[in-house]
Amino acid sequence: MEFDTIAAISTPMGEGAIAIVRLSGEQAIPIADRLFKGPAGKKLSEVASHTIHYGNILEQPSGLVVEEVMVSVMKGPKTFTREDVVEINCHGGIVSVNRVLQLALDAGARLAEPGEFTKRAFLNGRIDLSQAEAVMDLIRAKTDRAMNVAIGQMEGRLSRLVRTLRQEILETLAHVEVNIDYPEYDDVEEMTHHLLVEKATKVKIELEKLLQTAEQGKILREGLSTVIIGRPNVGKSSLLNSLVHEAKAIVTDVPGTTRDVIEEYVSVRGVPLRLVDTAGIRETEDIVERIGVERSRQVLKEADLILLVLNNNEILSDEDEKLFEAVSGMDVIVIVNKTDLPNQIDMSLVEKLAGGQPVVTTSLKEEEGIDKLEEAIQSLFFAGNVQAGDLTYVSNTRHIALIRQALRAIDDALNGIAQDIPIDMVQIDMTRAWEILGEIIGDSVHESLIDQLFSQFCLGK
């Protein structure tokens, strides 16, 4: 498969030590040759693959020196895209790198679309679709665990398992066809049923194992939407600052200081949290604060985890009890803050209202109790043994949905066998499971879906 030659800036825009303009395609080396001049006048088309060369980028046709660069030359198929790839390492300034990119475009390259380099790696057969999606997961990873899951998927851990399951299904269907077309025994129908049940059950068990990792995998990939709620002046903003280890929110003794929703990403013992500090939920006549309170109520509905903050120095109020009612049935950690002040709160009542949810005491002012809170968050979401490093995690929402569909198809096949439905009808369900699993790795997927997936990538990747 041949494509035109594309170019893009593959490093973040801004000031830095180095910025890279990447070219990929049949004309990548000739285009770079038109712009590049080395000290010995050697052509890039004459150098060995996977070598780097010092020189200058010249403006054409004037010959004016635009940039001092190092140029890497990598000839296909041993490259990321399986095409010829050239990477021009410039000084990391916005003006210089954009100028080099423009010269490459003027020399015949086309500006790459978002994710087009990775898309070419997929279309040229270097990686499958699940591995391509893992590239973006790796870029967006916010914790070590999320990065490890993405690396495992990039290395093909999920792909290998999916291919193995599809092969199991394919071999089973082939055996069934042979048994039906060339029966050698009187009990061929019973043997066929037994074979189908055995193989379908095996595939079902593996799919269920994958789904057991889905919740934690999705948390690692996307982070937990974590909302800090409580009455005004109980220490919500102090909690945000303590978890982020930075003064992100203004902290005062004046109720209503936080007027809007503040968001920040933080990793707590490997659990990525999208932390949201809300305006104190209370009845107020202040128009601006009232808008903040309404926004707080809205984000509460979308939260995965609630951190409900109470004041140790005050008795429980009706507003506190209403907050407990508002988060009923959700994952909640109750934080009784300000333990450095005299105790006024009824802890037995707090425990009762918490209904078995974790209760942690803190003094954020004295920086006490944060370790216990972090431990509670970790144990709430990573309890048990699903963290094993040799597990194949499934974290992508698309993959999870497809695995569930494939599992339903396998269940339909097993139910059909139990109800003595004709074998050819059972085969349809097994074939459907095979096709659905193929969508995960891109063996049976519509072109429009491929375009949509890669459009979410950053430019230059």
Q: Are residues 171 and 312 in the same domain?
A: yes
Task: Determine the Cα angle at 114 with ends 109 and 118, to 5°.
Answer: 85
User: For the segment 392-403, what is each residue's pLDDT rounded down to a tens digit?
Assistant: 667 677 888 899
Classify residue 33: in a domain, yes or no.
yes
Pairwise CA distance, residues 199 & 175, whole Å: 11
- Structural Rg of the chain based on CA atoms: 29
Q: Are residues 123 and 181 in the same domain?
A: no
Classify residue 455: in a domain, yes or no.
no
Using alpha carbons, select from 260, 262, 256, 254 the residue that is nearest to residue 286.
256
According to DSSP, the residues that pair with 226 across neighbouring strands are 275, 305
Using alpha carbons, select from 58, 68, 51 the residue that is nearest to residue 33.
58
Extract long-range pairs of 62-70: CB within 8 Å, 24+ residues apart.
66/96, 66/99, 66/100, 66/103, 67/91, 67/96, 67/99, 67/100, 69/36, 69/100
Residue 227's identity, in one-letter code, is V
Query: What letter would DSSP give residue 46?
Result: G
Show the domain range for 252: 129-442
Q: Are residues 161 and 108 in the same domain?
A: no
- Six token digits for residue 229: 């709620």
Considering the entire predicted model, what is its pTM? 0.63
**Which residue is listed with tokens 């491929």?**
450
- Six token digits for residue 51: 């070598």
Which among 88, 112, 128 is the end of a domain? 128
Q: Are residues 179 and 235 in the same domain?
A: yes
CATH of the domain at 175: 3.40.50.300
Classify residue 259: in a domain, yes or no.
yes
Using alpha carbons, select from 274, 202, 285, 251 the residue that is nearest to residue 364.
251
Q: Report the pLDDT value the prediction gives residue 444, as an integer from 0 to 100.
A: 67
Angle between helices 397-418 and 129-140 in degrees, nearest 10: 140
Q: Are residues 311 and 213 in the same domain?
A: yes
Pairwise CA distance, residues 228 & 332, whole Å: 10
Q: Are residues 326 and 385 in the same domain?
A: yes
Pairwise CA distance, residues 94 & 226, whole Å: 36
Q: Report the pLDDT value the prediction gives residue 104, as an integer from 0 to 100.
A: 94
Using alpha carbons, select from 136, 132, 139 the residue that is nearest to residue 158.
132
Which among 128, 156, 182 is the end of a domain? 128
Q: Are residues 186 and 75 in the same domain?
A: no
Helix (H, G, I), strand (E, B) or coil at 81: coil
Q: Are residues 94 and 138 in the same domain?
A: no
Extract long-range pairs of 160-167: CB within 8 Å, 24+ residues apart.
161/206, 161/210, 161/392, 162/130, 162/437, 162/440, 162/441, 163/441, 165/203, 165/206, 165/207, 165/437, 166/434, 166/437, 166/438, 166/443
Q: Say if CB 393 and CB 220 are below 8 A apart.
A: yes
Q: Say if CB 109 and CB 102 are below 8 A apart.
A: no
Pairwise CA distance, residues 157 & 149, whole Å: 10
- Six token digits for residue 120: 């070419």
CATH of the domain at 50: 3.30.1360.120
Classify residue 451: in a domain, yes or no.
no
CB atoms near residue 377 (< 10 Å)? 24
CB atoms near residue 270 (< 10 Å)? 17
User: For the segment 403-461, what is each residue's pLDDT rounded down to a tens digit?
Assistant: 999 999 999 999 988 888 888 788 889 999 999 999 888 876 666 666 766 776 666 66
Q: Report the pLDDT value the prediction gives residue 449, as an integer from 0 to 100.
A: 60
41 class by beta-carbon count within 10 Å (0-12 exposed, 13-18 middle, 19+ buried): exposed
Classify residue 39: in a domain, yes or no.
yes
The dihedral region occupied by 281, where left means phi > 0, alpha psi between -120 and 50, and beta the remainder, is beta
Query: What letter would DSSP give residue 419?
Result: T
Q: Report the pLDDT value the prediction gives residue 204, as an integer from 0 to 100.
A: 93
Tell me the torsion sign for CA atoms 249, 292, 266, 231: positive
Q: Report the pLDDT value the prediction gives residue 239, as an integer from 0 to 100.
A: 83
Pairwise CA distance, residues 133 & 121, whole Å: 12
Q: Are residues 114 and 35 in the same domain?
A: yes
Q: Are residues 69 and 138 in the same domain?
A: no
Q: Report the pLDDT value the prediction gives residue 258, as an integer from 0 to 100.
A: 39
Q: Which residues of the chain have pLDDT under 50?
A: 186, 247-261, 280-292, 384-390
61 class by beta-carbon count within 10 Å (0-12 exposed, 13-18 middle, 19+ buried): exposed
Classify residue 454: in a domain, yes or no.
no
Q: Are residues 99 and 13 in the same domain?
A: yes
Using alpha carbons, select from 303, 304, 282 the residue that is nearest to residue 293.
282
Q: Are residues 189 and 302 in the same domain?
A: yes
* Number of domain units in the chain: 2
Classify residue 457: in a domain, yes or no.
no
Pairwise CA distance, residues 56 & 292, whole Å: 55
**Which residue is listed with tokens 């009187």?**
186
Which among 84, 101, 128 is the end of a domain? 128
Pairwise CA distance, residues 308 & 324, whole Å: 8
Classify residue 453: in a domain, yes or no.
no
Angle between helices 157-181 and 129-140 in degrees, nearest 10: 160
Paired sense of beta strands 16-24 and 85-92, if any: antiparallel
